[in-house]
């Protein structure tokens, strides 16, 4: 019988503002974005190791209330629930990773102990000894660890605003940190259920019949020397390089964009209404006027960039391939953006 794991992505896409995130240097950082990236990698590794996965809170979707999620995990008869989070403290000098388990449950205590041990063995900092027993009458009285009918734990994968943890949770160390944290979690879950942990390979999934957005499915993959391929297609690799440069969340996605010709010509763009923190950062940097995080059909941001980089055609639009995107890729490779 297949074991089913509830992977609980902490909070929904609409929980910041007012909470579950913060602003730094004019850029908004949403805890849910980090939790979604981690949740997808945990799901991938769990499925690779033969588990079924159920998510009551979907990645990058509005918040499903906590008690409703609990009922959903119970209805799905999950064998274990792991809730994925990034922590916060008013004191930015507080850093480290930790896990919560119900104080009378020796099984989940051992599971959390194995997770934080895995993190420590990878060289990551713990918050105290990494172990927090949840109990009533305490700040540790967490619904996830207390109220669910199955074994359940909550893991904080670093302090999102911490002086040392910020770069792991949101900054230039995020990619490796996400992979390492997923390994730490899933390796311990495998041990919990008496399974050998497999890390290599990947789960085969059906290919979508067409790309989500854009007139091309090109991903603009890096070349063999690690630099961007200068092909004029604004794919995930180019978006990730821009996100690193502008110090926003690095996920390769330009979220919340209007449905217009320019956006459809950007393979890494996703149609929506929220706008993108990357585009907001670029709008501020290039002083394009309105800072709404959106690339309009004829965009002031694109016009400003075309003029700044001396392109012959200044029309405020993104084509695929695009001479502007080629110039962006060259400059990212050269470090002169």
Domain count, the chain: 2
Q: Based on the fold, state whether residues 8 and 141 are members of the same structural domain.
A: yes
Q: Report which DSSP code applies to 63.
A: P
d(CA 273, CA 266): 16
Give a yes or no: residue 214 inside a domain.
Answer: no
Give a yes or no: residue 218 inside a domain.
Answer: no
* Residue pair 4/52 in contact by the 8 Å Cβ criterion: yes
pLDDT of residue 225: 57
Q: Based on the fold, state whether residues 253 and 167 are members of the same structural domain.
A: no
Give a yes or no: residue 227 inside a domain.
Answer: no
pLDDT of residue 222: 53
d(CA 66, CA 37): 20
* Residue pair 281/269 in contact by the 8 Å Cβ criterion: no
List the CATH number of the domain containing 144: 3.40.630.40
* Residue pair 246/282 in contact by the 8 Å Cβ criterion: yes
Q: Based on the fold, state whether residues 260 and 120 are members of the same structural domain.
A: no
Q: Based on the fold, state whether residues 130 and 249 are members of the same structural domain.
A: no
Q: Based on the fold, state whether residues 146 and 71 are members of the same structural domain.
A: yes
Give a yes or no: residue 223 inside a domain.
Answer: no
Q: Per-block average pLDDT, block size 10, for the chain (337 residues)?
A: 94 90 86 94 96 95 95 97 96 97 98 98 97 96 97 98 95 93 98 93 41 40 69 93 90 91 91 90 93 93 95 93 94 92
Query: Which of 136, 163, 192 is a domain's end point?
Result: 192
Q: Based on the fold, state whether residues 182 and 323 are members of the same structural domain.
A: no
**Which residue range is the domain that position 293 belongs to?**
236-334
Q: Based on the fold, state whether residues 38 and 173 are members of the same structural domain.
A: yes
Work out the number of other CB atoms within 10 angstroms of the CB of residue 121.
Answer: 9
Q: Based on the fold, state whether residues 46 and 184 are members of the same structural domain.
A: yes
Give a yes or no: residue 67 inside a domain.
Answer: yes
Q: Based on the fold, state whether residues 22 and 165 are members of the same structural domain.
A: yes
Query: Which of 130, 157, 192 is a domain's end point?
Result: 192
Q: Based on the fold, state whether residues 136 and 30 are members of the same structural domain.
A: yes
d(CA 10, CA 156): 10
Give a yes or no: residue 230 inside a domain.
Answer: no
Read off the pTM: 0.65
pLDDT of residue 208: 41
Q: Based on the fold, state whether residues 35 and 135 are members of the same structural domain.
A: yes
Q: Based on the fold, state whether residues 137 and 259 are members of the same structural domain.
A: no
Q: Which residue has tokens 């910020």?
A: 166
Distance of CA 165 to the CA centre of its chain: 15
């Amino acid at each position: 019988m297949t074991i089913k794991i509830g992977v609980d992505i902490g909070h929904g896409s609409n929980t910041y503002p007012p909470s579950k995130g913060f602003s730094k240097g004019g850029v908004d950082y949403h805890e849910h974005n980090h939790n979604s990236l981690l949740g997808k990698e945990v799901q991938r590794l769990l499925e690779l190791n033969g588990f079924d996965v159920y998510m009551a809170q979907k990645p990058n979707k509005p918040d499903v209330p906590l008690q409703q999620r609990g009922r959903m995990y119970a209805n799905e008869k999950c064998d274990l629930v792991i809730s994925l989070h990034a922590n916060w403290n008013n004191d930015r000098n507080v850093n480290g990773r930790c896990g919560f388990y119900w104080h009378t449950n020796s099984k989940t205590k051992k599971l959390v102990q194995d997770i934080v041990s895995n993190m420590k063995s990878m060289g990551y900092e713990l918050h105290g000894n990494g172990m927090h027993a949840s109990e009533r009458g305490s700040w540790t009285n967490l619904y996830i660890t207390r109220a669910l009918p199955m074994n359940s734990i909550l893991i904080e994968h670093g302090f999102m605003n911490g002086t040392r943890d910020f770069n792991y949770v949101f900054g230039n160390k995020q990619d490796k940190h996400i992979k390492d944290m997923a390994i730490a979690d899933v390796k311990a879950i495998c041990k919990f259920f008496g399974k050998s942990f497999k890390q290599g390979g990947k789960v085969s999934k059906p290919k979508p019949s067409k790309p989500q957005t854009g007139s091309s499915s090109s991903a603009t993959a890096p070349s063999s020397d690690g630099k961007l391929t200068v092909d004029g297609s604004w794919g995930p690799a180019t978006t990730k390089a821009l996100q690193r440069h502008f110090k926003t969340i690095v996920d390769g996605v330009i979220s919340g964009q209007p449905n217009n010709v320019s956006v459809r010509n950007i393979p890494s763009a996703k149609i929506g209404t929220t706008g993108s923190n990357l585009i907001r950062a670029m709008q501020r940097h290039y002083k394009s006027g309105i800072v709404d995080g959106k690339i309009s059909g004829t965009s002031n941001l694109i016009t400003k960039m075309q003029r700044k980089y001396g392109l012959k055609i200044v029309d405020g639009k993104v084509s695929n391939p695009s001479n502007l995107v080629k110039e962006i890729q060259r400059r990212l490779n050269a470090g002169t953006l």
